[in-house]
Chains A and B, each alone.
Chain A
Amino acid sequence: MTGIRVDAAVRVRDVVLDLDLPEGSCTAAIGPNGAGKSTFVGLLSGALRPDTGTVAIHGRTVAGPGGFVPPHKRGVALLEQRSLLFPHLDVLANAMFGLRSRGVPRHTARAEALAQLERVGCADLTHRRPNQLSGGQAQRVALARALAIKPDVVLLDEPMAAMDVAAAPEIRSLLRTHLAGRTSVLVTHDLLDVLTLASHVVVLERGRVVEQGRVADVLPRPRSQFLADFTGVNLLFGDLVDGGLRLADGTVVAGLAGDDATAGPGWASIPANAVGLHLADPHGSPRNAVDVVVRAVEPRGPVVRVVVDLAGQALAADLTTGAVAELGVEPGLRLVASIKATAVTLY
């Protein structure tokens, strides 16, 4: 394994991580606030020392029992929410900073920094001061400054979170171009970032890795409530039986089993728009009909999301306002949920 290997614990934050990121991949780190995403970034950048375990980048142990490599000797570039351009230096001097710090002669550093600024479309801003730049420009210069050092790893800590709606897509497409083939870690709260930038994903919850793998494998089959919410699907947990998932109260939700589905504990993912709610069993053959109790009702744009209790688990259904009014939906109401079996994925 020549990518990134983290097997380390930071006790005061109750974070214990065990993960592998392949070389050249962009890994999105997602999870609720306080899940350990910043700790993960800190372990890679060198801002944090693990209490136990090791952190290795491209085969080189940067933290562990054998010693600790300080941030300035790691070759890990960091791009944060705030661009943090040095306010006392102009754009060119900012872009040159890393190269000069690494002992690159002035004229070489200047040429490389200019080339890098050119690549992010900021060649005409070289003599501006950071306070004369827009948020998007500043972040592009920060990207040029980070990439100029030819980092082994690029860490992106919500780089678009502070950006206005107009500037974010621009930065996103720049990142897409410049992160290709580079080992990078992207902390984000945005599904779009994961889908457009990342090849791999790590889901953190309460200081632990709950899921990790390729985006194409992990995202369609969430195995944590966080990831299900993140991708906007319902997630039910139970026992996989022939052609369905048996819940705690014995209810069986029929669905389509994936190739890797084996009998035993498993999940069913169900899009919210595949769930219908009725006062009585509608008797449609390809549908599951299960008894549920309404937990909560919340408007969501053109639809109303009704969250119901199904054998102790939450199930969301997106209904039209007309349907909600007709049913007289309110918390505590008993209903029958119909779920299209073809929309249920079992794994």
Chain B
Amino acid sequence: MPRWTWLPFALGLTFLVVPLAGMLARVPWAELPALLVSHEAVEALGLSLLTCVVATAVSLVLGVPLALAMSRMTGRTAVVVRTLVTIPMVLPPVVAGLALLSTLGRRGLVGQHLSAWGIEIGFTTVAVVCAQVFVAMPFLVIALEGALRADSGDYGTVAANLGASPTRVLWRVTLPMSMPALVSGAALTFARALGEFGATLTFAGSLAGTTRTLPLLVYLTREQDTDLALALALVLVLVALVVVAVSARFNRPVST
């Protein structure tokens, strides 16, 4: 590495670290406990925790089979399916929200039929979960698919020859062996769901206690109650730290 690259390295790192340091410098540490137990904060925290746990669970239930199927695909099909799965991940979140609204909203493609049955999704807690799953599940699928593809199925073949049915191979060999990727993918999914803002606001709105998650409350209070916004932001930063740590700890393949 040429010596001059240390300069952009230092600049880059500074640019990434300074804003966080600047925010931490303004956090009202003394009032922190009081701010975090305020009704608004507890409500938003509780809602975020609930929706993110549900969204991560739903992502696991739907995402694991998706990743399994994808890891067995080859050629053009694999490229097409992977592209489709990746799109929600890179889409501007507001567009994701719009897409959900025009599909599952009251007058949406699917939503109008659900409406006729008396089921409303738009602007409910369910909508929050939908928005989170839509943007966050791809993180799990992509992480897991990579790990499953690398293992190439040799262990599954051995297990089958020893008498394990395909279901037992899945539970006893394939999933345990891809546990690091599964945990790290789930952590990333949880983090992405927790940070969800644009799609949630567009599809679920910002109703206190129903759809107003942590990021929405931070945005709402950033001017008239900066202290609360900063206190909540700190919580989000801490969660991000934990997720990065978990992800780094597990994102190593099992040595064979």
Contact = CB atoms under 8 A, between A and B. Distances in A.
Q: What are the 8 tightest A-B residue pairs by CB atom distance, in nearest-first order? A: A98-B162, A101-B164, A71-B160, A101-B163, A78-B161, A102-B163, A72-B160, A88-B176
B256 interface: yes
Nearest to A131: B255
Contacts of A166: none
Interface in B133-187: 154-155, 157-166, 168-169, 172-173, 176-177, 179
B254 interface: yes
Nearest to B154: A84
Interface of B: 154-155, 157-166, 168-169, 172-173, 176-177, 179, 254-256
A146 B169 CA distance: 16
Nearest to A88: B176
Contact of B160 (A70, A88, A145): A70
A101 B176 contact: no
A149 interface: yes
Contacts of B155: 84, 86
A45 interface: yes
Interface string A39-75: 0000001110000000000000000000000111111
A202 interface: no
Contacts, number: 66
A76 interface: yes
B158 A84 contact: yes
B161 A77 contact: yes
Interface of A: 45-47, 70-78, 80, 82, 84, 86-88, 97-98, 101-102, 130-131, 145-146, 149
Contacts of A97: 159, 162, 164, 172
B161 A101 contact: no
A45 B162 CA distance: 10
Given A45-B161, A98-B162, 18 more contacts: A47-B157, A70-B160, A72-B160, A72-B162, A72-B164, A75-B163, A77-B162, A78-B157, A84-B158, A86-B155, A86-B176, A87-B177, A87-B254, A87-B255, A88-B177, A97-B162, A101-B159, A101-B165
A88 B161 contact: no
20 contacts: A45-B161, A71-B157, A71-B160, A72-B160, A72-B161, A72-B162, A82-B154, A84-B154, A84-B155, A86-B173, A86-B177, A87-B255, A88-B176, A88-B179, A88-B254, A97-B164, A97-B172, A98-B162, A146-B162, A149-B162
A72 B165 contact: yes
A149 B163 contact: yes
B35 to A, nearest CB: 44
B168 to A, nearest CB: 6
Given A84-B154, A86-B173, A76 B161 contact: yes
A146 B162 CA distance: 7
A5 to B, nearest CB: 20
Nearest to B180: A88
Q: Which of B159, B161, B172, B256 has the most CB of A within 10 A?
A: B161
